[in-house]
Homo-oligomer: A and B are copies of this chain.
């Protein structure tokens, strides 16, 4: 793409569920993330000209079938300018199927890039539904626990996915995330199917207690409370079976000083939250060591909570 009049945005990876907020909580990382560039062209319609960083996977270049393309199309249709000539380049700079919201980042970047190119006719918040539609194309679910923090940044609580009833939570300044991505494959479908459709009332109450207390801990900057609350009794016991060495990694994180840890999204990535960057780095080393000694290639990302979300970088 000719760089003249080109606009590039970055949409960050996200950690969804956050132990106790299954389908409801998510936060954004500084890195990794996806980059998408757009520019006006003379030929009518949205065209995806380039897709990089997909490794062995081939993403559809038809905008109707591409997560980033579709979210952008939804915006263009909303504005009644579907035939506007726009060329889009997609640069995947984060792993697929990692539990880090790869499709959400693409959906967010796609719609945000086009909105920027058009001179921001809509606010960031107003793009949420279009991004959710892009995400739905990839995941089959209209939910925003990854999309909302990737777009808006911070820690986002969703009361109701279908009505986009979302709320930004306070982000304690010293809260730092560590994410370990072990190079093993878990299909989101399998991660969904392993979940029991019923849970016990007592576990539900315990989870409610931890979710409420996590929110209170964030409002009150209470790291001890955040730590006590990061205990998933509903989902993690079921899904952790899909991640080898999960409990050793979790114990390593705790021993290294993490406030808590759990599965990122549907996995296989595991996130930890720590107070302070140096602890978060030690936690990362300790978690990586478990996978590494067991011969599992892995990557570590250490990041403050990204409070900006998706942004224009060029």
Contacts of A159 in B (CB 8 A): 209-210, 212-213, 225, 228-229
| Distance of A200 Cα from B195 Cα, bound (Å) | 11
CB contact list, A185-244 vs B, under 8 A: 195-202, 204-213, 215-216, 219-220, 225, 228-229, 234
Q: Which residues of B are found within 8 Å of A210, using beta-carbon distances?
A: 159
| Minimum CB distance partner of A20 in chain B | B208
> Which residues on the B side are within 8 Å of A165 (C-beta)?
209, 213, 228
Q: How large is the interface on A (under 10, 10 to 19, 20 to 34, 35 or more residues)?
A: 35 or more
Tell me if A289 is interfacial: C-beta within 8 Å of chain B.
no
0/1 string, A2-43, CB within 8 A of B gives 1: 000000000000000000011111000000000000000000
Given known pairs A199-B199, A201-B195, the reply for A208 and B160 (CB within 8 Å) is no
Q: Are B167 and A234 in contact (CB under 8 A)?
A: no
Q: Which of B199, B213, B229 contacts A201 (CB 8 A)?
A: B199
List of B residues within 8 angstroms of A211 by Cβ: 208, 211-212
CB pair A167–B201 under 8 Å, yes or no, is no
Residues of B within 8 A of A160 (CB): 206, 209, 228
CB distance from A141 to the nearest CB of B (A): 12
Q: Are B200 and A198 in contact (CB under 8 A)?
A: yes
| One of B204, B215, B234 near A216 (C-beta < 8 A) | B215
Task: State whether A167 touches B200 (Cβ < 8 A).
Answer: no
Q: In this assembly, does A130 line the interface, its C-beta being within 8 Å of a C-beta of chain B?
A: no
A201-B195, A201-B196 are contacts. A158–B209 as well, Cβ < 8 Å?
yes
Return chain B residues, CB-CB under 8 Å to A196.
201
A68, B216: Cα distance in complex, Å: 32
Instruction: State the CA gap A206–B208 with chains docked (Å).
Output: 11
Partner of A199, one of B24, B204, B219: B204
Instruction: Select which of B21, B199, B225 is within 8 A of A212 by beta carbon.
Output: B21
List 27 interface pairs A-B (beta carbons < 8 Å), by A numbering.
A21-B212, A22-B205, A24-B205, A24-B208, A25-B212, A158-B209, A159-B210, A159-B212, A159-B225, A159-B229, A160-B228, A165-B213, A167-B216, A167-B225, A169-B216, A196-B201, A197-B201, A197-B202, A198-B198, A198-B201, A199-B200, A199-B201, A199-B204, A204-B234, A207-B208, A208-B211, A212-B215
* Top 9 A-B pairs, shortest CB-CB distance: A159-B213, A198-B198, A159-B209, A204-B204, A167-B216, A215-B215, A23-B205, A157-B212, A219-B219
